Amino acid sequence: MKETEIRRLLAANLLCALSIILTAVVPPFFLDGFTVLGTHLTWLCVCSISVGTLNVILHLVLKPNQSPKRSYFAHKISRFLKCCIYFFMSCILFHAIIVLYGAPLIESVTETFLFAVLLSTFTTLQCLCILGPNIQTWIRVFSKNGAMSIWESSLQITTMCSILGAWFGAFPIPLDWDRPWQVWPISCSLGATFGYMAGLIIAPLWIHWNRKQLTYKSR
């Protein structure tokens, strides 16, 4: 396994982590009264847009899983439209799952949907950038020993960490602490964000540590 590829992955992941930090630091200079907790819905939008845009740019620049076949313009347009549809469907699916796990069905619909968009940005959007709109490839990557590149291994780790972070973030909500960050969906979205950032850092370190065992044989 080439060390240069691991360094590219580390640099890309650090940029994504930095973009999340900047979403909490930069907006107060332009938006009066902006805080992650006080104007949480605005932060959810800013974070989703920033991370999503950076992921797309990094994919276009680094091209981690570039296909050897040359794609026609019509094929690229079709692929882009499929990605948009898949992302929207992912937001709806996450919204439904979150409601089934106890989120308000009618109240706080905006909050729940924006949280679903954030989760989709941390998980589905990355899959679309690296794997494309190919469900069979997604199933292969998230099966046991299914990754065929360090980018796919990183995708596994960051996706799992994001979902686990969101799940653990729900634990403080029912507790009688009366803290401002216990309001739905602040603790869950912060949990997903910290989980995603942890995954971004853990992934290249884990891959570097286990690089001798990771052969990534073609299937």
| Each residue's pLDDT tens digit, 115-161 | 999 999 999 999 999 999 988 999 999 987 778 889 999 999 999 99
Q: How far is CA 141 from the centre of its chain?
A: 16
Does pLDDT of 100 surpass 60?
yes
Q: Please say whether the beta carbons of 12 and 58 come within 8 A.
A: yes
pLDDT value of residue 219:
46
* Domain layout of the chain by residue ranges: 1-27+37-56+71-218
Q: Which long-range contacts (CB under 8 A, 24 or more apart) does 7-11 make?
A: 8/62, 9/150, 9/151, 9/154, 9/203, 9/204, 9/207, 10/204
CA distance 173 to 188: 9
Tell whether the model's pLDDT for residue 95 goes beyond 80.
yes
Using the predicted structure, report yes or no on whether residue 47 has a pLDDT greater than 80.
yes
Widest pairwise Cα distance in the chain? 58
pLDDT mean over 51-59 = 94
153-209: pLDDT as tens digits: 999 999 999 999 999 999 998 887 788 888 999 999 999 999 999 999 999 999 989
CA distance 119 to 162: 7
Quote the mean pLDDT of the chain: 90
**Residue 74 confidence (pLDDT) above 50:** yes
